[in-house]
Amino acid sequence: MSQIAIRHVHKSFAAKQREVVALRDIDLDINPGEFVCLLGPSGCGKSTLLNAVAGFSLPSSGEISVDGRRITQPGPDRGMVFQEYALFPWMTVAQNIGFGLEIQKKPADEIAAKVGQLLDMLHLKDFRDRFPKDLSGGMRQRVAIARVLALDSPILLMDEPFGALDALTRRNLQDELLRIWSKSGKTILFVTHSIEESIYLADRIIVMTYRPGTVKRDQRVELPRPRDPSSAEFNELKRELGRLVMEEQQRHAADEMQVAAID
């Protein structure tokens, strides 16, 4: 049985006197333990879909359910990692990581133990009592990942989490994420516009169309891990997906020119 069921999801916004259809008739089933990437150019609705699963912004029609329960609001069963990290700058690294458990009123020693374990796991031990402003982007994203791992939620939602990082830090965190995922068996729904990133990480890549956002291609990635981005198979898939994404990117660009002309 699927863990996340997305049924006929439709989402539209009113923008500048015209209605923008961000998502149209999305149907997806995501299985427990699956690593799924949502791939597409900006404006394709991939973040909108993720926010709908997170419960931040519900669909205009259709239904999303997790383990058979309809989603109506955000909750710690679907931990979210944001591109902008969204760490609380007034809390230390340890306080940020422990905040979710504190909300659940877990005893202090249990929180301390869990936080210590996550600090070790994500190599953050030396930064325990620092504030986020003292950390690099990569370190901040480690803290943000630790913060949702502390919730021990079965599902991780990630919105271009490594988009603002340099290439080396990015690869490093991708490997870290794969290590955590393979050990924990969590379901991951990961938004990216990087074709290479999606092939490197995912079991399955959902390529989305530019407005209205629909599913253009549901692509399984069967390459064995660890994947080698320089291998022939990797690049063959990259070319194929690149073609699909480029088509949508061109529609995006054409649309932007048109809007600019009207304005």
Partner 1 sequence: MPARLKDFLQGLLIPIILLVAWEASARAGFFSAAILPAPSAVAAKWWISLLPAQPIDPASQSYVGWMFSGELIQDAISSLYRVLTGFVIGAGLALPLGLLMGARPTIYRLCNPLMQILRPIPPIAYIPLAILWFGLGNPPSVFLISIGAFFPVLMNTIAGVRNVDNIYLLAAANLGAGQWTLFTRVILPATMPYILAGVRIGIGTAFIVVIVSEMIAVNDGLGYRILEAREFMWSDKIIAGMITIGLLGLALDTAVSRLNNHLLRWHRGLDQ
Residues that bind partner 1 (CB under 8 A): 54-56, 73-76, 78-80, 82, 84, 86-91, 99-100, 103-104, 131-134, 147-148, 151
In Å, how far are 33, 137, 146, 177, 191 from 165, measured between CA atoms? Answer: 26, 6, 17, 14, 15
| Residue whose CB is less far from partner 1, 18 or 105 | 105
Which 8-state DSSP code applies to residue 150? T
Closest by CA to 155, choosing from 113, 108, 190, 109, is: 190
| Residue whose CB is less far from partner 1, 56 or 234 | 56
d(CA 5, CA 27): 8
Q: Taking the complex as a whole, how short is the minimal distance between the CB of residue 3 and partner 1, in angstroms?
A: 18
Q: Taking the complex as a whole, how short is the minimal distance between the CB of residue 112 and partner 1, in angstroms?
A: 18
Which 8-state DSSP code applies to residue 20? E
| Residue whose CB is less far from partner 1, 86 or 121 | 86
d(CA 179, CA 201): 11
Q: Taking the complex as a whole, how short is the minimal distance between the CB of residue 15 and partner 1, in angstroms?
A: 18
d(CA 188, CA 120): 22
Q: Taking the complex as a whole, how short is the minimal distance between the CB of residue 192 and partner 1, in angstroms?
A: 19
Q: Taking the complex as a whole, how short is the minimal distance between the CB of residue 78 and partner 1, in angstroms?
A: 7
| Residue whose CB is less far from partner 1, 150 or 205 | 150
| Residue whose CB is less far from partner 1, 87 or 208 | 87
Tokens coding 122: 């994500």
